[in-house]
Amino acid sequence: MIELFGADYSVYVRSVRLALLEKGVDYRLVPIDVFALGGPPEEHLERHPFGKIPAFRHDDFSLYETVAILRYIDEAFAGLSLQPETPKLRARMTQILSVLNTYAYRTLVWDIYVERVVKPGEDGSADEVKIASALGEARKIIAALEALTMSGPFLIGDQLTLADCHAAPMLNLFAASEEGTMLLEAAPRLSNWLTDFRTRESFLATQPVGTA
């Protein structure tokens, strides 16, 4: 029995859902609202001491941190392998995962997407200073990811990997901002990969409810 604790709007939760679907592993999404007034529910803090989503449980084995969960899913279950065999390609995949976590998430999702797309829709206004000061870093991130994107249908060439599962939800949100559209135009390999990935069954099946 697999339980994934989180919310469908979360890019990190979606990465895990993509890996589960691509592996063909059944799971139950248990809704957790980490942004609730008063903070994450007390019982969630026992699963995840930092109060983030996702958290994961397979029978009596509990885990948090998305990359650890992604690797576990790939290694604990049969099905398509989502990690390259060779040391060099495996290192490239890990490098992309690390760039996404360390640099991309905060800048692309919070500093740009949330400010430009989410806040105005909530009757707030975008923090233009925050967006403007994130743009240089965003340009660097997109250029780095473009340089790491290999030729072929996936980020690591011919093999669908955990890097695709983790990158697609984040870049999909970033692309919804005008800054994202503009920066992705200068990254043709990455843009083509994103356009193709958006048509995958797993991606369509994990669309957050209420979004197109």
Ligand X SMILES: N[C@@H](CCC(=O)N[C@@H](CS)C(=O)NCC(=O)O)C(=O)O
Residues that bind ligand X (CB under 6 A): 10-12, 34, 51-53, 65-66, 101
Cβ pair 13, 53 in contact under 8 A: yes
Min CB(151)–ligand X separation in Å: 29
- Identity of the residue, 7 or 196, whose beta carbon is nearer to ligand X in the bound complex: 7
Min CB(203)–ligand X separation in Å: 17
Read off the DSSP letter of residue 78: -
Using DSSP bridges, classify how beta strands 61-64 and 28-31 pair: parallel, antiparallel or unpaired. unpaired
Give the residue closest to ligand X by C-beta. 52
Q: Which stretches of 7-119 are assigned E, i.e. beta strand? A: 28-31, 55-58, 61-64
- Identity of the residue, 83 or 101, whose beta carbon is nearer to ligand X in the bound complex: 101
Round to whole Å and give the CA distance between 204 and 163: 18
Min CB(77)–ligand X separation in Å: 19
- Identity of the residue, 68 or 147, whose beta carbon is nearer to ligand X in the bound complex: 68
- Identity of the residue, 18 or 53, whose beta carbon is nearer to ligand X in the bound complex: 53
Round to whole Å and give the CA distance between 33 and 99: 26
Min CB(74)–ligand X separation in Å: 16
Cβ pair 140, 77 in contact under 8 A: no
Cβ pair 55, 62 in contact under 8 A: yes
Of 33, 39, 28, 27, the closest CA to residue 6 belongs to: 33
- Identity of the residue, 62 or 153, whose beta carbon is nearer to ligand X in the bound complex: 62
Min CB(165)–ligand X separation in Å: 13
